[in-house]
Homo-oligomer: A and B are copies of this chain.
Amino acid sequence: MYVILVYDCGQKRVGKMLKLCRKYLSWIQNSVFEGEISEVKLKELILKAEQIMDADDDSIIIFSSRQEKWLNNQIIGKERSSIENFI
């Protein structure tokens, strides 16, 4: 399946979350990722993310589709930030 993942988490956990998500998906911008992923791998990702997250403060949204990649993604404003800012 194809997914878009957006996480929102406390500053302390951003680095870990970024590292985790990059293992499974392609980084687009800041806290936004996309990519093809199997259901099993997605479950694994969610499980690991839950271990990082503070359930009271953090959240992740996952849009998923069985179809192929979506048509367009358009970025307005700042260019893709350097990954080095995050790790």
Binding site for B on A (CB under 8 A): 4, 6, 8, 28-32, 46, 49-50, 53, 55-66, 70-78
Q: Is there contact, CB below 8 Å, between A77 and B55?
A: yes
Q: Which 10 A-B residue pairings sit nearest by Cβ, starting from the closest? A: A59-B77, A59-B78, A60-B76, A8-B30, A62-B74, A64-B72, A58-B77, A63-B73, A65-B71, A65-B70
CB distance from A66 to the nearest CB of B (A): 7
CB distance from A3 to the nearest CB of B (A): 9
Q: Is there contact, CB below 8 Å, between B57 and A75?
A: no
- Known A6-B32, A31-B8: A74·B59 in contact at CB below 8 Å: no
Q: Is there contact, CB below 8 Å, between A70 and B78?
A: no
